[in-house]
Amino acid sequence: MHGSQRKSGLFTPLTEKGGSVQVTLITIILLILAALITLDILSYRQQDAMLSSQATEIRSLGLRVARVEHLTEELGKKINLTIPSVQKIDNVFLVSKISAESYLTGIKIKGVMINSSSLEQNKVRFRIKVNDVSREFTINKIKPGSSKAFSVEIPDVPFEEAREAEIKALASSVAYFID
């Protein structure tokens, strides 16, 4: 390059004509970029705060859902003694035609136990609990898809307070046939 040639472009020396205008434009562009970066950072911080708040809310909802599921499961374990329709005890047994009546110093619960499995259940031992008083009873044999009536006396439970019961199958032996 000879001394008579001029450089043109963005980085023209300040000593040349128009150099201060280019510096001013560069400064304005840099200020605009800095403002945009600052806005992006503020936007990111707002989004981060919002996501953090939502994460806390989601955790709280998760705990509530778990609690509702637990209560639903606990409620599902209870058998309503005032509803004679079919009610689930567990994955194998259902109860139907259940009722409670006043009997001596307590109540008598009658119903029909249903074996919903494909296996014959023998010497099935159940525990029924009403108002923290429990009794065990045994049904000798329930064929697959069949049912058997039962009756259990539970002393010291006022009839007026006998609205629901918890029934658990404690033990049984199964019979199946192999061809």
Is 18 a residue whose pLDDT tops 70?
no
Pick the last residue of a domain from 32, 54, 76.
76
Return the top range by mean pLDDT from 56-65, 68-77, 94-103.
94-103
Pick the last residue of a domain from 76, 109, 129.
76
Q: How many CB atoms sit inside 10 A of residue 77's CB?
A: 16
39 Cβ contact partners less than 8 Å away, ≥ 6 residues apart: none
Pick the last residue of a domain from 42, 76, 110.
76
CA 58 to chain centre: 13
Is 7 a residue whose pLDDT tops 70?
no
22: pLDDT confidence band, cut at 50, 70 and 90? Answer: confident
3-state SS, 29-58, equals HHHHHHHHHHHHHHHHHHHHHHHHHHHHHH
Strands 93-103 and 87-88: antiparallel
Q: Which of 177, 161, 108, 104 is nearest to 137 (CA)?
A: 108
The percent of residues in the chain predicted with pLDDT above 70, rounded, is 87
Q: Which domain holds residue 63?
A: 1-76
Give yes or no: residues 36 and 84 share one domain. Answer: no
Give yes or no: residues 147 and 163 share one domain. Answer: yes
pLDDT tens sequence across 35-49: 999 999 999 999 999
Query: Count of domains in the chain?
Result: 2
Give yes or no: residues 67 and 89 share one domain. Answer: no
pTM for this entry:
0.59
Give yes or no: residues 100 and 43 share one domain. Answer: no
